[in-house]
Every structure is written in structure tokens, then in C-alpha cells.
Amino acid sequence: MKLDILAIAAHPDDIELACSGTLASHRDMGYKVGILDLTKGEMGTRGTPEIRMQEAEASAEILGLSARENLGFKDIFFKDDLDHQTAIAKVIRKYKPEIVLANAVRDRHPDHGKGGSLASHACFISGLRKLETAIDGVPQEVWRPKFVYHYIQNEFIEPDLVVDISDYWETKKESILAFKSQFHDPNSKEPESFISRPEFLDFIEARARELGHKINVKFGEGFTVERVAGVKDLFNLI
């Protein structure tokens, strides 16, 4: 199966927080969208890998994903090296996305900047003919996505482009709240984390409003680009 957009994330819930509205909106435009999670978030303060996998599956249903996979890299300890790049390249060659959405170029959590760099490098080597990969013994064809866009996470980074998600804010919020173990629950017995405080979700909404404001819409999601984006029609912009 070919995907139009593959979003790659260091942790389950990175995508939901940063660019799930973009995925949902493009799904409704008829594009096939999917997520590749690199780790199970096992080093996080709350939840377990098993719980987070169940939550990721629930979110995938909400977002209408065509595919969601998890590579099971070691949370915190994965590296931007050839072995990890090649594992991602195999998934890129499997789904042949035109666009990859990747972690922020830098952020509070070190896995985010590292994950963004790793995904970018994987996209490049996936297009190298002399890098041979196979799935179940079947050699894969080379594939390099046309575009890599990095979503914006906790740290504010001035976006190069903003996607209007005004009609998909509620879907985005629902996909975030699918990760019940991670966010505020007054009945939870688990320790409080950076993202489990009740005001954290207010911050996510404020960020979406701020990014939407930049393009005169209610809610937006921002991205930075690796190369200048071009258009043929100046009137086909918001």
C-alpha cells in the first residue's frame, strides 16, 4: 500500500500533539496518511508500553489512518546512525510517501530533535540505489520522499508554512485524549509529569490558535521546511 503522507515520531502522541489536524484534514481530501512511531515511550513518567500501544491504536481509529507502525527503538537511547536510519528507510520504501512529516528540528525533549534528524537522514538514504534492503526476503525499490516538513512541538519555532486545521480541532483534541495515561486525569494515582498538568492542554490549544492567527484562521499547525517551498499559482494560497 502506498501512502501520500507518512508522519514519523519519536514517541506515540508526538504526532497527535503536533500535526494530527493536518493528517485528518488531508485524509478527508482523499489522501492516504499514516504514522511511524520510533519508540513505545517506555521511559515516560506515566503509562506502560502496552497501554501506550493500545492508546496509539485508538488514536489511529480516530484519525482514520491507513497504517500505523512502531519500530520499537529504545526510548531516549536510540541513535541517529546507519542501523536506525536503515530501519526507517525500509518503512519509507514500503509505503513510498510523497511527504514525510518529522519531529521538530530542536525541542525540550532530546528525542525530538534527534528523531527529526534521524527521519531526515533516513529519507535521504532511502533514495540511494546502493543501499540494499528487503522485507521477508523480497528486495525493495528505492524511494525518496519529495518533501520533508518538520512539525513544531513544545519549543516555539517560527514556521515556514502553516496548515489550516480549523475544521479539525475537535478531531485533533480527541486523538490527543486517546492517550489517557499521558494527560490530566484527576483520578490517576501516577506521578504528575510535564504534560499531565491540566494547563498543558490549554497550552496546546493556545499554540494552535497562535499558529492559526498567523494565517487568519482559527486553528493551525506549523512546519519548518528543509528546502524552499514553491507554488505555480500565487492564488492557490490562503
Query: What confidence tier does 184 reach under pLDDT thresholds 50, 70, 90?
Result: confident
What kind and span of H or E run contains 224?
Answer: strand 220-225
pLDDT at 211: 98
Q: Which residues contact 10 (CB under 8 A, 6 or more apart)?
A: 37, 38, 39, 75, 78, 103, 109, 111, 112, 114, 115
The span from the CA of 192 to the CA of 179, in Å, is: 15
Q: Is the pLDDT of residue 186 over 90?
A: no
Kindly list the distances between the CA atom of residue 41 and the CA atoms of 55, 60, 70, 89, 208, in Å, as whole numbers in the listed order. Answer: 12, 17, 11, 21, 24
How confident is the model over 74-116, as pLDDT tens digits?
Answer: 999 999 999 999 999 999 999 999 999 999 999 999 999 999 9
Residue 49 confidence (pLDDT): 94
Q: Which residue has the higher pLDDT, 193 or 13?
A: 13
Mean pLDDT of all residues in 121-132? 98
The pLDDT-based confidence of 196 (bands split at 50, 70, 90) is confident
- What mean pLDDT is reported for the chain? 96
| Amino acid 59: pLDDT | 98
Mean pLDDT, residues 211-217: 98
- Across the range 206-218, mean pLDDT stands at 98
Q: Which domains does the chain carry?
A: 5-225 (3.40.50.10320)
Q: What is the pLDDT, as a whole number, of residue 187?
A: 81
> pTM for this structure?
0.96
pLDDT of residue 190: 85
Structural Rg of the chain based on CA atoms: 17
pLDDT at residue 188, rounded to an integer: 83
Mean local confidence (pLDDT), 56-81: 98
User: What is the pLDDT averaged over residues 198-222?
Assistant: 97
